[in-house]
Amino acid sequence: MLLGNYKLNSRWWRNCIIIVLVLGLFFRFYNLDRKVYWYDETMTSMRISGYTQTEVVQEVFDAGIISVGDLLKRYQYPNPTKDFNHTLNALAGNPEHSPLYYLIARFWLQLFSNSIVSIRFLSALISLLALPCMYWLCLELFQSSVVSIIAVGLIAISPFHVLYAQEAREYSLWTVTILVSCAAFLRAIRVKRLLNWGVYGISVALGLYTHPFSAFVSIGHGIYILITQGWRWSKGLVAYLLSSLFGLVLFVPWLVIVIQHFSKFVENTASVNSSREGFLPLFWGLNLSRIFVDVNQGISPFSPLHYLSAFLAGYALYYLYRKTPLDTWLLIITLIGVTGTALIAPDLILGGRRSTITRYAIPCYLGIQIAVSYLIATKITATKLDKIIVTRWQYGAIALFFCGIVSCAVSSQFPVWWHKSRSKSQYNPQVAQVINQAERPLVITDQIPGIVFSLSHLLKPDVHLQLLTKPKVPDIPNHFNSVFVYRPSERLQRRFDKNTNLKIEEEPASKSWLLKVEK
């Protein structure tokens, strides 16, 4: 059941979608500077500046006292001492992160100001490209402007997509490349021209240069073309293989780096092999619910949001399967299924937490949002259904949009949300407030660079830091009136406790993250 002949004729519905789009744009750019610049974002900035963690530790740790302003200027923003080659070398040390977003961000910051707002503004701008790309993909799939408009509305106000639109990370760009790749793939099949397959090949390369999991999207396309062409050798299959090979050839420069640094790749991704406490399906339900409604809900098995979201997604996929031809529903199923299987199967067989990391499943969430958009579009434009049922579906669609709006409004007011890792960021705003209010403060810590950078972005430039690698009590200059210890390791805290000349007390507002030193 395709909707090519239907349009949203109701002025009320058109105005509703316009409001949703405007609010989606607003929330993407709102309070960009008030959200904690957390660990992963500081790693983005460090690599853009051309440094590795090892270099930072060698140059700054155990090297005396440094001001926050000097630390950030050198290691968090591009500077004349490090060029694009240094950025590439820093990225090579983390080959699990494809380089495209980081190189774009480096170029962006060199053109504009060095600030948190500037780099997050780039991510928000990139996220806007997902809206026309989603429209294009749905047109290729359904030949329906109604489905396309509903899908654009859903992704515009999705709390998940809004959160990552404000992150100095590659995930808004990855969303765009996924949508472009799928749309270009369908167009190449529909309009069998060399140019279209060339565009698809380029989209494959762009996807891989943005995120390695783009390979799962391309594999899904291969499964799609095999099934739709009857499991036989065909011109379409040959064109797909050649264009995919073309994309892979374009990706070879970075693939060589990944192979050369494969041990680093394995080391840097080893954390996903650690199992998470809790029942895996509860995490899946929680993550799924966050694409529609996000009020910082937990993984409680009694949360109705998990079950409502799972039911909506399941019914939408079933409805899509029943009402659309194979070449429509199969693309959505492969988009969801290949990535989903790649994340879930290793966790079930080997253990780990890959499938609990929300951002890894972006292809799955896009597929589910498209299926839900088709369900809503067909129900609110149905002519054979009872008017009462159509009205109920219209109210349901409005409720879904409203949930997204409320979720974005709520999360926009908090400096730390679930995606910023509470264990690394939760109390940094309170800690920074205490330090910034102190007179001539010195902060001592043996935390790793990313943790230090995250706090530093909240501190005044004239605050001074003494960074340690060894758990020892440093000499404290007399000209600092206020001395703090930030999140000391157990060994460092024991050293302070044993020092009879110093007394450390916990700052009440910091939830034990900050200790004050009294001489």
Are 407 and 21 within 8 A, CB to CB? no
Residue 67 region by backbone torsions, left for phi larger than 0, else alpha for psi between -120 and 50, else beta: beta
Nearest 5°: the CA angle 375, 219, 88 is: 110
Confidence of residue 500 (pLDDT cuts 50, 70, 90): low
Q: For 426-452, what is the mean pLDDT?
A: 95
Enter the tokens of residue 64.
Answer: 């005396």
Whole-angstrom Cα distance, residue 469 to residue 467? 7
Whole-number pLDDT of residue 469: 93
Rg (CA), the chain: 25
Pairing relationship of beta strands 65-67 and 482-486 according to DSSP bridges: unpaired
DSSP single-letter state for residue 128: H
CA dihedral sign of residues 398, 400, 406, 412: negative
Within 10 Å of residue 329's Cβ, how many Cβ atoms? 20
- What whole-number percentage of the chain has pLDDT above 70? 98
Whole-angstrom Cα distance, residue 502 to residue 420? 34
Whole-angstrom Cα distance, residue 59 to residue 82? 15
3-state SS of 323-343?
HCCHHHHHHHHHHHHHHHHHH
Whole-number pLDDT of residue 8: 58
Burial class (CB in 10 A: 0-12, 13-18, 19+), 431: buried
CA dihedral sign of residues 196, 199, 203, 204: positive
Tokens 């019914």: give the residue: 315
Provide the CA 271 distance to its chain's centre, in angstroms: 17
Are 409 and 294 within 8 A, CB to CB? no
347-358 pLDDT per residue, tens: 999 999 999 999
User: In a 3-state reduction of DSSP, which class is residue 466?
Assistant: strand
From first CA to last CA, the distance across the chain in angstroms is 77
Pairing relationship of beta strands 464-467 and 503-506 according to DSSP bridges: unpaired
Q: For 436-452, what is the mean pLDDT?
A: 95
Residue 506's φ and ψ, nearest 5 degrees, are -75, 130
Mean pLDDT lowest among 325-329, 487-491, 510-514: 510-514
Whole-number pLDDT of residue 4: 47
Residue 62 region by backbone torsions, left for phi larger than 0, else alpha for psi between -120 and 50, else beta: left
Confidence of residue 5 (pLDDT cuts 50, 70, 90): very low
347-390 pLDDT per residue, tens: 999 999 999 999 999 999 999 999 999 999 999 988 777 888 88
Enter the tokens of residue 447.
Answer: 């935390």
Whole-number pLDDT of residue 9: 58
Strand ranges across the sheet with 482-486: 65-67, 464-467, 441-445, 482-486, 514-518, 503-506
146-201 pLDDT per residue, tens: 999 999 999 999 999 999 999 999 999 999 999 999 999 999 999 989 999 999 99
Average pLDDT, the chain: 93
Establish how many alpha carbons lie within 13 A of residue 467's alpha carbon, considering only the half-sphere containing its beta carbon. 21
Q: What angle do helix axes 130-142 and 171-190 make, rounded to 10 degrees?
A: 30
120-141 pLDDT per residue, tens: 999 999 999 999 999 999 999 9
Q: For 17-34, what is the mean pLDDT?
A: 96
Whole-number pLDDT of residue 3: 54
Cα–Cα distances (Å) from 63 to 60, 92, 251, 255, 466, in that order, read: 5, 26, 40, 37, 8
Whole-number pLDDT of residue 200: 98
Confidence of residue 80 (pLDDT cuts 50, 70, 90): confident
Whole-number pLDDT of residue 7: 55
Mean pLDDT lowest among 12-16, 234-238, 444-448: 12-16
Map out the domains of the chain as residue ranges.
Answer: 11-30+129-418, 39-124, 423-518
CA dihedral sign of residues 483, 488, 492, 497: positive
Enter the tokens of residue 355.
Answer: 């499938």
212-243 pLDDT per residue, tens: 999 999 999 999 999 999 888 889 999 999 99
Burial class (CB in 10 A: 0-12, 13-18, 19+), 68: buried
